[in-house]
Amino acid sequence: MEHHARKAVILHKITASYGKRTVLHDVSAEIPAHQVTALVGPNGSGKSTLLALLAGVHPPDTGTVHRHHRARPALVLQRSAVSDALPLTVRETVAMGRWSHLGPIRRFTKHDRAVVETCMERMGIADLAGRPLGALSGGQRQRALLAQGLAQESDLLLLDEPATGLDAASRDTMADVLAGLGAEGVTVVHATHDADAARQAGHRLVLSEGRLSSRPHNAAVAEEVPSATG
Ligand SMILES: Nc1ncnc2c1ncn2[C@@H]1O[C@H](COP(=O)(O)OP(=O)(O)OP(=O)(O)O)[C@@H](O)[C@H]1O
């Protein structure tokens, strides 16, 4: 039991499909609590599907998912998945992260508003709060979506390629934020093609054609994620 208490999620012999096509095969893994786990692997290897499974939005065909986190998982998708046409400001976008916390009359409390402001500050976008989401650069929009994920205050934060489109300074900010979340009791899992982000994570899972790799993590990361320095 003590062993399980330190895992946020335990996956046992999971298979998952789209229609008749099985894309995750016999995946067994443990997600350590209050740590950053990097999910790496080539395009199409099943990273997004595994994140969706951890989020509870893609059911497994077979196998079991044991959950030891408290809140509903927060899933932040790649920015390309979000329409540019949404008529929302940055603050409104981040505030959507609070929706699941609102009471029946859906009124924002002082606390909800403070969380929204803090999350914008953490992602360095407080000065963009009043700007329409569609008028931002790709990296700025990505940071707004990350702030929305943080605003959910879930203890399981799932991020699909959060570094995509971010400049070096924003990637550093994000890495600092992710590393700091563990101390706040948050478990982070992020899919990444970024070699530095994968190496910085305390734990790595390497997917290849829908299966977890049994190769040593460092060797697998070196192979799957091209070195930032070439
Ligand atoms: N909605 C879908 N319908 C059918 N097949 C899908 C769907 N989404 C993904 N797939 C397939 O499932 C497999 C795993 O895809 P997934 O998106 O999980 O990979 P990924 O590792 O996240 O890839 P990438 O690095 O390109 O984001 C791929 O073969 C993909 O073509």
172-185 pLDDT, tens digit per residue, is 888 889 989 988 99
Does the beta carbon of 202 sit less than 6 angstroms from any atom of ligand 1? no
Per-residue pLDDT band for 100 (boundaries 50, 70, 90) equals: confident
H or E stretch covering 114: helix 110-122
pLDDT over 90 for what percent of the chain? 64
Quick one: which H or E segment has residue 49?
A: helix 47-55
* Nearest atom, ligand 1, residue 41 CA: 21
pTM of the model: 0.90
Angle at 93 between CA 89 and CA 96, to 5 degrees: 140
Query: Exposed, middle or buried by CB within 10 Å (0-12, 13-18, 19+), for 222?
Result: middle
CA R_g for the chain: 18
pLDDT tens-digit series, residues 209-223: 999 986 545 555 555
44 CB within 6 A, ligand 1 = yes
Ligand 1 pocket test: which of 22, 47, 211 has the largest number of ligand atoms within 8 Å of its C-beta?
47
Strand partners, 63: none
Provide the mean pLDDT of the chain. 88
Q: What is the ipTM, given to two decimal places?
A: 0.98
**Residue whose CA is at the smallest distance from ligand 1 atom 27:** 43
CA distance 22 to 28: 16
Residue nearest to atom 28 of ligand 1 (CA): 44
Give residues with Cβ within 8 angstroms of 19, minimum separation 6. Answer: none
Whether 140 is in the pocket of ligand 1, judged by its Cβ within 6 Å, is: no
